[in-house]
Amino acid sequence: MMKSSLPLGEFAARRARLMAQLPAGGLAIVPGASMRHRNRDVEYPFRQDSDFYYLTGFNEPDAVLVLLPGRSDGETVLFCQGRDPEMEIWNGYRTGPEGAMQHYGLDAAHPVDEIDKRLPELIDGRRSICYSIGSDEALDNRVRQWLKAVRSRARQGAVAPTELVMLDPLLHELRLFKSEAEIGLMREAGRISAQAHVRAMQQCRPGLFEYQLEAEISHHFAMNGCHLPAYSSIVGGGANGCILHYTENRDALCAGDLVLIDAGCELEYYAGDITRTFPVDGHFSPEQKQLYELVLRTQLACIERVKPGVLWNEVHDLSVHMLTEGLVALGLLEGDVDTLIETGAYREFYMHRLGHWLGMDVHDVGDYRVEGEWRPLQPGMVMTVEPGLYVSPHNEGVEPRWRGIGIRIEDDVLVTETGGEVLSAAAPKSVAEIEQLMAKARQSR
């Protein structure tokens, strides 16, 4: 199993920080992911659960981490698959409990098939159990069973916890703020993802299928050490660019259309998330160019606005204002800008939010509001800035020349002490840069 390039101390520090925040007498349970079936006898590639990986760096299926602050026999206990020569012939090497202790800096480790026997013993005497309540029915049931087992031994002196505590807010607040080491990986994920978009621009030509352009992106990821994308790549030519979660990628690309590509690699569990929109034949039409420059102007202004203290929603509101104003100027919307915003009329063209947190999950964890208020940006947060405009091919309310144009421009931005650092800057986005890059690629074919 490939190990993280992050030092073991980084994982130990994360566990220590989480343990310091647990309620007094608390114990935390963090389960890893299991294999999932795709169809008969075929499994999806294994992807460890992000919370679990964040705390362990351990990427085998069916493991469980238990954190027991203050326990003299070891505060960090891992349950994992035991060594099994027969199974390892079929499914590959297992680290096993001894290896886990040796290589992952954990205090104790046991085969996962002993968990039902051992967990009640670990729970006994703890005041609260902290875990992601309600997110996994099987886990909820197991916690109930473990609690029942502790209670059944009350007459022998066992003491069951008196409260269940939701672990997610504590853990996700930690994940929201990226360390220097994490930022290093995210810079690299941004760079590799950006270069993949350059490759797609260079390889694009009419007649290519969307999935073939997707393959160029996947090829670049793999050749740069990223086996898989962070999410299913979206490659939408023409009106397919107006379908926000279009992942079928099955149509041929046509001259005269734009193609929207939303794709990012996953590097050691950290995601890139970039969208570029460019002309299939390398030339923007006048309508495409006008809408594109409106989205780009908006995106640049929003990135400019990113800095500590600015409220999450302020940046989104700026995008709504600029896009609505621009749509009125181009004649796609009619009326007073403020009214169009108040009534939500702009949503016909801009129906998603400006962005989201980015990290180990592409839509990363962390609250957007704190105590009912939009939260201020702080150094160490990473967010996407991704305004878009989508004119449905069926929109009878606009002139036909605008219909079927879908544009999004998305970058990954680290909030720094003084502003924002664009992690995905290596993917060109001005009309001139894109047209030049594509012209050069055509010449050298």
Residues involved in catalysis: 41, 245, 262, 273, 352, 356, 363, 386, 390, 408, 410
State which of residues 277, 384, 392, 424 lies at the interface with Mn ion (CB under 5 A): 384
Whose Cβ is closer to ligand GLY: residue 262's or residue 435's?
Answer: 262
Binding mask 367-386 for ligand GLY (x = CB under 6 A): -------------------x
The owner of tokens 């994982």 is 11
Q: How far apart are CA 189 and CA 274, in angstroms?
A: 10
The count of other CB atoms within 10 Å of the CB of residue 386 is 23
Window 396-425: residues binding ligand GLY (CB under 6 A):
410
Whose Cβ is closer to ligand GLY: residue 120's or residue 387's?
Answer: 387
**Assigned token pair, 248:** 């079928």
Instruction: Write down the least CB distance from residue 296 to Mn ion, Å.
Output: 16
Q: Which residues of 55-70 are buried (b: 16+ CB within 10 A; e: fewer)?
A: bbbbbbbebbbbbbbe
State which of residues 273, 361, 364, 435 lies at the interface with ligand GLY (CB under 6 A): 273
Name the helix (H) or strand (E) containing 181. Answer: helix 180-203
Binding mask 254-273 for Mn ion (x = CB under 5 A): --------x----------x
Instruction: Write down the least CB distance from residue 43 to ligand GLY, Å.
Output: 24
How many helices (H) and strands (E) would you count in the chain?
Answer: 13, 20
Name the helix (H) or strand (E) containing 171. Answer: helix 168-176
Q: How far apart are CA 414 and CA 383, in angstroms?
A: 6
State which of residues 51, 182, 257, 262 lies at the interface with ligand GLY (CB under 6 A): 262
Whose Cβ is closer to ligand GLY: residue 273's or residue 325's?
Answer: 273
Find residue 209's DSSP bridge partners.
252
State which of residues 11, 54, 221, 231 lies at the interface with ligand GLY (CB under 6 A): 231
412 binds, among Mn ion, ligand GLY, none (CB under 5 to 8 A by kind): none
The owner of tokens 């800057």 is 425
The beta-strand segments (E) located in 108-161 are: 108-111, 128-131
Instruction: Write down the least CB distance from residue 189 to ligand GLY, Å.
Output: 13
Residue nearest to ligand GLY (CB): 262
Whose Cβ is closer to ligand GLY: residue 231's or residue 246's?
Answer: 231
Whose Cβ is closer to ligand GLY: residue 325's or residue 412's?
Answer: 412
Whose Cβ is closer to ligand GLY: residue 29's or residue 261's?
Answer: 261
Instruction: Write down the least CB distance from residue 387 to ligand GLY, Å.
Output: 11
The beta-strand segments (E) located in 202-357 are: 234-237, 258-263, 266-267, 270-271, 274-279
CA angle 23, 26, 31 (to 5 degrees): 115
193 binds, among ligand GLY, Mn ion, none (CB under 5 to 8 A by kind): none
The dihedral over CA atoms of 346, 350, 356, 360, expressed in degrees to the nearest 10, equals 170
State which of residues 185, 208, 261, 362 lies at the interface with ligand GLY (CB under 6 A): 362
231 binds, among ligand GLY, Mn ion, none (CB under 5 to 8 A by kind): ligand GLY
Biggest CA–CA distance in the chain, Å, is: 83
Q: Does 361 bind ligand GLY (CB under 6 A)?
A: no
Whose Cβ is closer to ligand GLY: residue 291's or residue 354's?
Answer: 354
First to last CA, the chain: 40
Q: Does 364 bind ligand GLY (CB under 6 A)?
A: no
Whose Cβ is closer to ligand GLY: residue 214's or residue 386's?
Answer: 386
Q: How far apart are CA 384 and CA 415, in angstroms?
A: 11
Q: Does 271 bind ligand GLY (CB under 6 A)?
A: no
CA distances from 373 to 27, 75, 314 (A): 30, 36, 12
361 binds, among Mn ion, ligand GLY, none (CB under 5 to 8 A by kind): none
Number of residues that bind ligand GLY (CB under 6 A): 7
3 state DSSP class of 223 = helix
Instruction: Write down the least CB distance from residue 400 to ligand GLY, Å.
Output: 29
Residue 140 is which amino acid? Answer: D
Window 266-305: residues binding Mn ion (CB under 5 A):
273
Instruction: Write down the least CB distance from residue 406 to ligand GLY, Å.
Output: 13
Q: Which residues contact 102 (CB under 8 A, 6 or more apart)?
A: none
Q: For residue 14, give the DSSP letter.
A: H
- Using CB under 6 A as the criterion, which residues of the chain lie in contact with ligand GLY when the complex forms? 231, 262, 273, 356, 362, 386, 410
- Using CB under 5 A as the criterion, which residues of the chain lie in contact with Mn ion when the complex forms? 262, 273, 384, 410
